[in-house]
Amino acid sequence: MSSGSVTLPQTGGGITSINGDTTAAQLITGGTGISVSTTGGDTVISATGGGSVTSVSVVTANGFSGTVANPTTTPAITLTLGTNAVANSQLAQMPTLTLKGNNTGGTANAADLTVAQVNAILPVFTSTLNGLAPLSGGGTTNFLRADGTWAAPGGGTVTSVQVSGGTTGLTYSGGPITTSGTITMAGTLGIANGGTNATSFTANAINYYNGTSFVSIPNSNVSDASGYIFPDKIVFSLPGPRVVQNDNTNWYIWPFAGKITKAWIVAKTGPTGAAFICDIQYSTNNGSSFTSIWSVNPSNKIQIAASSVAGTTTSFDTSTFTAGTLFRIDIDQVGSTVAGSDVTVVFNTFTQNT
């Protein structure tokens, strides 16, 4: 029924008040879609109304799409999971150190494969295929070949050794050696092979290659018996007319230990009436005092004879000097009629680069 009424006594139990009113019996009246009845003294209120689904639709999310067939009568919903729609975070978590794969040998669902399972399905490399290295079998000497196999290093025994000088100019004797022995080298190494093609050099001399062979500059030009080498010279210039005077020139300092071997003197205008005589003085105390290199035999001092323009000497009382020695020129005599002028004094030296 669409409506009805029931009278409940106040002492009936169950309902003691309606809308706060407990002073008299109350009336419950049914309406549209509601029925009221009693069963065994209980009051039963129930809905009697009904309805119909008029339309069904699908709201898609998380990669799903859907369609609805017969949405107003007997709906049928079809859901579809899109391509590349499932994120890694939506998959089940994987055990540590595993890879997704299929090692069953047939079509199957993906599984979480261990390192050992992955190794078992990967190929071993060959000369034409990349892949894993094969098991070595242990040991410390085998090596992996390009064809994918392990092999022991090759070995062998030398049965004979022979040596040839070829075009070097060297000769060898004692070969071939088949067990043990000594090979002896002799001869001279040719210039084309970096040698000198010489068996010896002149002592205390400079040996050089002249384009054909090695030759030696004579000892007298490059060294002396004391081992002084590096030829050098010291030059003093005395321009203009000269007068007897000590300390006539700027001082010269010798940067290396050395030895004087010969002295020369020349004048543009030679002296007449008497010789032009110079003294070479040296100092080993930074110029505090000077001493003649002819302190014992002053007659050997360098000079130009009267009516001449040049002179020379190889006699010295002191001829070797240490690095840092100072030199100067003193003029002892200039001539008696015409004084020598525009004079140059040169002495040849050998030095030691130490």
Count of beta carbons in the 10 Å neighbourhood of residue 265 = 25
**Structural tokens at position 90:** 């939506």
Burial of 269 (C-beta count, 10 Å sphere; 0-12/13-18/19+): middle
Cβ(283)–Cβ(292) under 8 Å? Answer: no
Look at residue 354 in the predicted model and tell me its pLDDT: 52
Angle at 132 between CA 129 and CA 134, to 5 degrees: 105
Count of beta carbons in the 10 Å neighbourhood of residue 249 = 15
**Structural tokens at position 347:** 């002495």
Confidence band of 159 (pLDDT split at 50, 70, 90): confident
Q: What is the pTM of this model?
A: 0.41
Quote the DSSP letter at residue 132. B
4-61: pLDDT as tens digits: 444 444 444 444 444 444 444 445 555 666 666 666 555 565 656 555 667 777 777 7
**Structural tokens at position 74:** 């007997």
Where in the chain are the domains? Answer: 4-38, 229-352
Burial of 142 (C-beta count, 10 Å sphere; 0-12/13-18/19+): middle
pLDDT over 70 percentage in the chain: 75
pLDDT over 90 percentage in the chain: 31
Q: In CATH, what number does 229-352 get?
A: 2.60.120
**Structural tokens at position 11:** 């002492």
Quote the DSSP letter at residue 93. P
pLDDT at residue 226 greater than cutoff 80: no
111-129: pLDDT as tens digits: 999 999 988 888 888 888 8
